[in-house]
């Protein structure tokens, strides 16, 4: 897959932006998983022009979390460090 994914700012102390390109599905799920593997947040995001820019204002505990972007056959993941 030639698509990209990023999280900004990373590390973060609060809200952050999930950015991805090269998406084919009209809607994706954004799932945030904590270090224990528990889902701490899940939401849908609408894709426009094959890309998504979704701000997340989720109260997360300090530590490393995995942000997953799931759409059809395409799953991407990126770690985010919360301070």
- Reported as a single tens digit per residue, the pLDDT across 53-82 is 999 999 999 999 999 999 988 899 999 999
* CA atoms within 13 A of residue 35's CA, in its CB half-sphere: 8
- Reported as a single tens digit per residue, the pLDDT across 17-34 is 999 999 989 999 999 999
């Amino acid at each position: 897959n030639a698509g990209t994914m990023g999280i900004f700012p990373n590390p973060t102390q609060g809200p952050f932006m999930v950015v991805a390109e090269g998406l084919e599905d009209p809607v994706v799920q954004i799932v945030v998983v904590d270090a224990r593997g528990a889902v701490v947040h899940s939401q849908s995001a609408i894709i426009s022009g094959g890309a998504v820019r979704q701000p997340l204002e989720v109260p997360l505990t300090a530590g490393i979390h995995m942000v997953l972007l799931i759409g059809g056959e395409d799953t991407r993941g990126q770690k985010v460090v919360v301070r």
